[in-house]
Amino acid sequence: MNFLDPMIRPDAKIDGDADWWRGAVIYQIYPRSFQDSNGDGIGDLAGIIHRLPHVAELGVDAIWISPFFKSPMLDFGYDVSNYRDVDPMFGTLGDFDALIDRAHALGLRVLIDLVLSHTSEEHPWFKESRCSRDNPRADWYIWADAKPDGTPPNNWLSVFGGSAWEWDGERMQYYMHNFLAEQPDLNFHNMDVQNALLDVARFWLNRGVDGFRLDTVNFYVHDKELRDNPPLKPEDRNANTAPAVNPYNFQDHRYDKTRPENLEFLKRFRALMNEYDAITSVGEVGESQRGMQVQADYTSGGDKLHMCYDFEFLSGEAPTGTRIGKVLERFNEIVREGWACWAYSNHDVPRHTSRWNLTEEGARVYAALLMSIKGSVCLYQGEELGLTEAYVAFEELQDPYGKRFWPKYKGRDGCRTPIPWTRDNQNAGFSDAKPWLPVAMEHAQRAVSIQEQDETSTLAFYRRMLAFRSAHPALIKGEMEMVAVSDEVISFIRQDEGTRMFCAFNLSDGSHPIDLPEGSWRADKGAPFNVVETDQGIALPPFQACYALEAGEQT
């Protein structure tokens, strides 16, 4: 297979800056769909190693790798059967060590996806737990007796549909699962469970990882009394955590997740990370009703998570300037001490270019906005190519979530199809064999090899925009002050150590004049946008952005 291998950045290095994560751009890799190296149609760690130069050339700071642990793959790695080993389809621990070395040589830090709230039913811990009610791990999972009529202990629902309780004939009890029935939830009220999971994190820290993305971080602890969740009014059924077709949205999930006891575990997790140099954590908060407050609770005090992200910009709601302004304002009011990690797309939601029906120009200005607001950034593989949501026929569907709610909800496979690297074969350079999911025909026209030859391509735009961000510390760690907000235009100032940068974004298909703040400003020509300067000020053409520095600052 012919792999492209751009030159290593001459400034590539990994330093000891403990604060590196603040303002970092993190590139998410979904390993099954990134690059197949052995011809089985499934991406693997060796494939990631070969393609890391592409990621480094983008100019990001770190990669986050979705789970590659040993697993029966019913939820494609999010059902772990061995936390301390690599699934053979992805390679070996030796491959992972080589990946760490290669990434660090390219100036990329490595975060891995830890799934601590639940395991696979194939995990030895669960196999032992279900054997009896008095074995050493009998209380490692959440077991409960049936009600007198045989029904589940309470009304809790699974994110993947149906009851969150599964009957087990071996123990003659129900066990809890927030996701698939084959993904039993661990009992975080048991300190032996917490200790075992902290040992898992230590195992990977000792192998050289630079941090963790913590899957479903607010799902760790459940209510010990197993109280019923109250219902939500129809007008409050926010569909961010689960698709609208799923009755999971009918409940206020007060008792099955986001419990206050979780804060003590997060403090223990942070204490472990503090034993190592320059480690970070980003927690996924799946909480529709109290997402911002959870972020505040989980990142306050400097003794829990470094940062969180929720689903504010991962929803289908149109991201007008007004809405984005309100989200940022709420974050500043509620979270205060914490640090955000913003994302438009990931492996669980339709790609944002399709979700928001964006043109190519529109997608670019939204990308620039994402890279300019205060916080860190997660980019999902393929965003830099402008990939749209792929159509996957039911016959080729792999996602159990999609199979359950088809056709109202088509699942997550449309954002998980393989990355197109070249246009010169039927699988776009991803694999020599039939891929586990089909390569979208329209994606092949956006292959890396094509876009690398076009200085006007989306890939070229991302490289220039990330380089521009990197050249301006105010865009990385600076404070943020909102200037003006409307549906069509949003503007603000980023400030760091005396440098003030004005940022304005036209999110519409019409031209708009821009009022600069008081003072003397000049447009920064290094940004990859077209700005029209007139005697009256600055005019922004459709889907363009303006960056301006105060007079006296260097471009």
* CA–CA gap between residue 327 and residue 334 (Å, rounded): 10
What integer is the mean pLDDT of 339-346?
A: 96
* CA–CA gap between residue 38 and residue 46 (Å, rounded): 9
* CA–CA gap between residue 391 and residue 417 (Å, rounded): 9
Q: What is the DSSP letter of 496?
A: E
Rg over alpha carbons for the chain, rounded to the nearest Å, is: 24
What integer is the mean pLDDT of 231-241?
A: 82
Q: Please give the pLDDT value at position 12.
A: 61
The token pair that represents 118 in the structure block: 């639940």
In the structure, what pLDDT confidence band is assigned to residue 6 with cuts at 50, 70 and 90? very low
Decide: pTM greater than 0.75: yes
In the structure, what pLDDT confidence band is assigned to residue 552 with cuts at 50, 70 and 90? low
Most confident of 14-28, 52-66, 316-330: 52-66
Where in the chain do CATH 2.60.40.1180 domains reside?
479-550
Per the DSSP assignment, residues forming a β-bridge with 505 are: 490, 545
What integer is the mean pLDDT of 229-251?
A: 87
Going by C-alpha positions, the residue among 330, 198, 343, 160 that lies closest to residue 275 is 198
* CA–CA gap between residue 480 and residue 331 (Å, rounded): 12
* CA–CA gap between residue 144 and residue 171 (Å, rounded): 10
pLDDT higher than threshold 80 for residue 418? yes
* CA–CA gap between residue 63 and residue 108 (Å, rounded): 7
pLDDT above 90: percentage of residues in the chain: 85
pLDDT higher than threshold 70 for residue 11? no
pLDDT higher than threshold 80 for residue 8? no
Q: Please give the pLDDT value at position 314.
A: 92
Going by C-alpha positions, the residue among 30, 29, 49, 28 that lies closest to residue 91 is 49
Q: Please give the pLDDT value at position 5.
A: 42
Could you identify the residue written with the tokens 């997402």?
Answer: 291
* Cβ partners under 8 Å of residue 191, min gap 6: none
Q: For domain 479-550, which architecture applies?
A: Sandwich (2.60)
The token pair that represents 466 in the structure block: 């990330």
For the chain, the average pLDDT equals 94
Choice among 11, 235, 275, 395 that is catalytic: 275
pLDDT higher than threshold 50 for residue 403? yes
Q: Kindly report, residue by residue over 443-463, the tens digit of the pLDDT.
A: 999 999 999 999 999 999 999
Where in the chain do CATH 3.90.400.10 domains reside?
118-185+232-256
Q: Kindly report, residue by residue over 102-157, the tens digit of the pLDDT.
A: 999 999 999 999 999 999 999 999 999 999 999 999 999 999 999 999 999 999 99
**How far is the CA of 209 from the CAs of 15, 98, 412, in angstroms?**
14, 12, 27
CA diameter of the chain: 81
Q: When comparing pLDDT for 171 and 555, which is higher? A: 171
What integer is the mean pLDDT of 190-195?
A: 98
What integer is the mean pLDDT of 189-202?
A: 98
pLDDT higher than threshold 50 for residue 412? yes
Choice among 113, 182, 210, 215 that is catalytic: 215
Classified as helix, coil or strand, 284 is strand
Q: Kindly report, residue by residue over 300-336, the tens digit of the pLDDT.
A: 999 999 999 878 899 888 899 999 999 999 999 999 8
Catalytic annotation on 128? no
φ, ψ (nearest 5 deg) of residue 220: -65, -45
In the structure, what pLDDT confidence band is assigned to residue 283 with cuts at 50, 70 and 90? very high
* Cβ partners under 8 Å of residue 134, min gap 6: none
The mean-pLDDT minimum among 229-238, 258-267, 541-550 falls in 229-238
pLDDT higher than threshold 50 for residue 522? yes
In the structure, what pLDDT confidence band is assigned to residue 7 with cuts at 50, 70 and 90? very low
Q: How many CB atoms lie within 10 A of CB 254?
A: 15
What integer is the mean pLDDT of 403-415?
A: 95
Classified as helix, coil or strand, 493 is strand
Query: DSSP string spanning 315-361?
Result: SSS---HHHHHHHHHHHHHHTTTS-BEEES--TTS--HHHHTT--HH
Q: Please give the pLDDT value at position 313.
A: 94
Pick the CATH number of 118-185+232-256 from 3.30.930.10, 3.30.300.10, 3.90.400.10, 3.20.20.70: 3.90.400.10
pLDDT higher than threshold 80 for residue 424? no
pLDDT above 70: percentage of residues in the chain: 96
pLDDT higher than threshold 70 for residue 535? no
CB–CB of 396/388 below 8 Å?
Answer: no
Q: Kindly report, residue by residue over 271-282, the tens digit of the pLDDT.
A: 999 999 999 999
In the structure, what pLDDT confidence band is assigned to residue 553 with cuts at 50, 70 and 90? low
What integer is the mean pLDDT of 343-359?
A: 97
Q: Please give the pLDDT value at position 10.
A: 47
Q: What is the DSSP letter of 244?
A: T
Catalytic annotation on 215? yes
φ, ψ (nearest 5 deg) of residue 41: 85, 5
Q: Kindly report, residue by residue over 357-398, the tens digit of the pLDDT.
A: 999 999 999 999 999 999 999 999 999 999 999 999 999 999
The token pair that represents 71 in the structure block: 């697993």
